[in-house]
Amino acid sequence: MKSLKPLLIVALLISTACSTANYQSPQFADRAQHHKVIAVLPFVMILDGDPPKDLTARQIAQIEEAESVAFQGAYYYRLLHQASVHRKHPIQIEIQPPETTNRLLAAAGIGIRDSWGMPAEEMARVLGVDAVISTAVQKTRYLSVGESIGVDLGLQVVNEVTEGRLAPILPWGLVKTHDIWANCELLDGLDGTLLWQTDFAQAADWQCPPNQVVDGFTHELAKLFPYRG
């Protein structure tokens, strides 16, 4: 990822205030016409504040990496929804499944956390894609305590695919979060050029389950994404 611009408050469910900033490079149309496949990278997770005292460094790393993959997967499925042919202006680009992305990273010896600081052009080469989506999320606390986050948020991805039919039986065993700040960038695989970027701020209803926060967050990002027909 080329840079982490100042991250703004993200919001994502029932909002009382909202601000959005978008940027699209003058080079986007010229470069995008040569793109065939893009990849969603594991999200960069940043804690704004002190970590819980009862968690070890290993537990903190596990939680952050599980959240990273959970956001990544949810965003991928939201982008697929936006690519539906039934939409007025669908996304028209092939998106590499996150399972493939993470498998290729692992095969290259690149862990989830390692991927956070690697140049976009190197990531694109490893993944065999034309551009990568790099997203940083900063929040004041973790979405869960303990290692259950990987299971609980993973089920949210399943819920997306099944259009909510599993919602009544999903285990909402997560604690509430506070505000989240987010920045999302589309970087060209040739040289890491920033082609598109968005960040936004919005108040959220934190009474909702955290997996709905993830859903709302990725839903907002997907609505703003380019490559539209």
Assessment of whether the complete model's pTM goes beyond 0.75: yes
In a domain, 109, yes or no: yes
pLDDT 10s digits, 121-130 = 999 999 999 9
How many distinct structural domains can be found in the chain?
A: 1
Residue with tokens 């099944």: 162
C-alpha dist (Å) from residue 116 to 40, 85, 101 = 12, 32, 13
Please report whether residue 3 resides in a domain: no
| Tokens 């990725």 found at | 218
Helices within 83-148 (DSSP H only) = 98-107, 112-115, 120-127
Decide if 229 is inside a domain: no
Range(s) of the domain holding residue 60: 8-224
Q: What are 128-156's pLDDT values in tens digits?
A: 999 999 999 887 777 754 334 443 444 34
Predicted local confidence at residue 66, as pLDDT: 87
From the list 6, 38, 43, the residue with the least C-alpha distance to 136 is 43
In a domain, 64, yes or no: yes
pLDDT score recorded for residue 127: 98
Would 184 be classed as within a structural domain?
yes
Q: Is 1 within a domain?
A: no
Angle formed by the axes of helices 149-161 and 210-224, nearest 10°? 50
| CATH number of the domain that residue 64 is part of | 3.40.50.10610
pLDDT along the chain (229 residues), means of 10: 37 39 93 97 89 83 88 93 90 97 98 96 98 91 52 40 34 44 93 93 56 75 89
